Amino acid sequence: MMALKATGRSVGHDRVTQQDRRVRDLDRDEALRLLATVSMGRLVFTQRALPAVRPVTHLVEGEDIMVRLDDGSTLTALMMDSGTPAVVAYEADVIDPETHLGWSVVVTGFAYPVADAEEGHGYAERLPSWAGQSTNSTVRIRPDIVNGFRLEAVPPEAAPSG
């Protein structure tokens, strides 16, 4: 299997054709483990009754995904019904732009604001701002559904002959 650098560039692989690839579903544990290897993803939520997507930084704690929000409008949209957690999706991936090999994970669940000021400050220190803005807004995503796949190269001996 090929190795992926954190930059998403492949190592030790020549050009891979579509016939040389296969999709393998990830189980929950492997998907969460892969999610923990990257620090950025995309938060999908509802804003004014429409889907909205924001790039955010995250870290994984157990099965919870802690997300730093760098703009107040995202938090406002998430918490429109005060006290009611918002249904969200969270996606992160590492896909090589040349070979298109890599993985993608999508988590669907409820987002809860981190209300405790001390806990929120602790996450603000551990979650860097990707946009360079200073905020202490952190959301905890409790995943109900965890889906993922790995697009991997088929070893030459396993590739179908044509």
Query: For 77-108, how does the pLDDT look when each residue is reduced to its tens digit (9 = 90+)?
Result: 666 556 678 899 999 999 999 999 999 999 99
Residues 6+ apart with CB under 8 A from 48: 77
CA 104 – CA 37 distance, rounded (Å): 12
DSSP H or E segment with residue 80: none
The C-alpha atoms of residue 108 and residue 147 are separated, in whole angstroms, by 8
Whole-model pTM: value is 0.78
CATH architecture of the domain with range 16-155:
Roll (2.30)
pLDDT tens string 117-141: 787 777 777 887 766 666 668 889 9
- Ordered by start, the domain boundaries in the chain are 16-155
φ, ψ dihedrals at 152, nearest 5° = -125, 160
